[in-house]
Amino acid sequence: MELELASLPHKERYKLLIGLVIPRPIGWVSTWSENGVANCAPFSFFNCISEDPPLCILSFNLRSDGALKHTLKNIRRTGEYVVNLVDESTANAMHVSSYEVAETESEFSATGLTPVPAKIVKHPRIGEAAAAFECRIERSITFGPERELVIGEILLVHARDGIIDPVSKRISEELYRPIGRLFANRYCTTRQRFDLPGKLPG
């Protein structure tokens, strides 16, 4: 089968692409609104793309009423944000925090999450998250009226105790159990891991 994307309706392209590129990591972004409401929402057009400089990307479309997502509004206003990483213990709260709510309502209160002050940026991190990146916008690129890519510089990494070995900086496979997004309401764990033989370059 061959499908030329230009000939497909928007919705089918979306379904196809998010169904094929799986699993995707989830960037769970936390920010304050200008009125001091703690906001968080998940984004799976997310990845870490460089370590020098340390960069991650997020890509936003619009809310169902055509307005800017609150997260993007808060990021644009301040140039800063926190990307939290989602593990099995926070999966449900992450999913619920994706529901569209009014700007005056906090996804933190709705899910029982704790906003904890970040160290460098002015936004909160999610206290229950396995790990979090404090980020500052490096640049953002707009693709048409409905899609904006935000590239962030990662300034500081937080992690739940035990996840990062303080000396080797290795991540504990035992304690860090991230989940990935498949499509619609489907997710996966990272429980089945395997080695391939051979030497890695470098």
Q: Which residues bind ligand FMN (CB under 6 A)?
A: 26, 39, 41-45, 59-61, 63, 69-71, 95, 98, 100, 181
Cα distance between residue 129 and residue 9, in whole Å: 37
How many CB atoms within 10 Å of residue 17? 12
C-alpha–C-alpha distance, residues 15 and 87, integer Å: 24
In the structure, how many helices (H) and strands (E) does the chain have? Answer: 4, 11
Q: How far is the CB of 148 from ligand FMN (least distance, A)?
A: 9
Neighbours of 9 (CB within 10 A): 8
Kindly tell me the sign of the dihedral angle through the C-alpha atoms of 133, 135, 138, 142: positive
CB nearer to ligand FMN: give 112 or 198. Answer: 112
Q: Which is nearer to ligand FMN, 43 or 133 (CB)?
A: 43
Distance (Å, whole) CA 95 – CA 110: 12
Instruction: Select 42 or 115, whichever has its Cβ closest to ligand FMN.
Output: 42
Residue 107: CB minimum distance to ligand FMN, A:
7
Beta bridge partners of 60: 148
CB of 68 to ligand FMN, least distance (A): 8
Shortest gap between Cβ of 198 and ligand FMN (angstroms)?
33
Q: With respect to ligand FMN, which residue has the nearer C-beta, 150 or 164?
A: 150
Closer CB to ligand FMN, residue 69 or residue 158?
Answer: 69
Identify the bridge partners of residue 152 per DSSP, sorted by sequence position.
Answer: 56, 137
Please state whether beta strands 80-85 and 38-43 pair in parallel, antiparallel, or not at all (unpaired). unpaired
Tell me the closest approach of the beta carbon of residue 26 to ligand FMN, in angstroms. 5
Q: How far is the CB of 42 from ligand FMN (least distance, A)?
A: 4
Of residues 39 and 164, the one with the C-beta less far from ligand FMN:
39
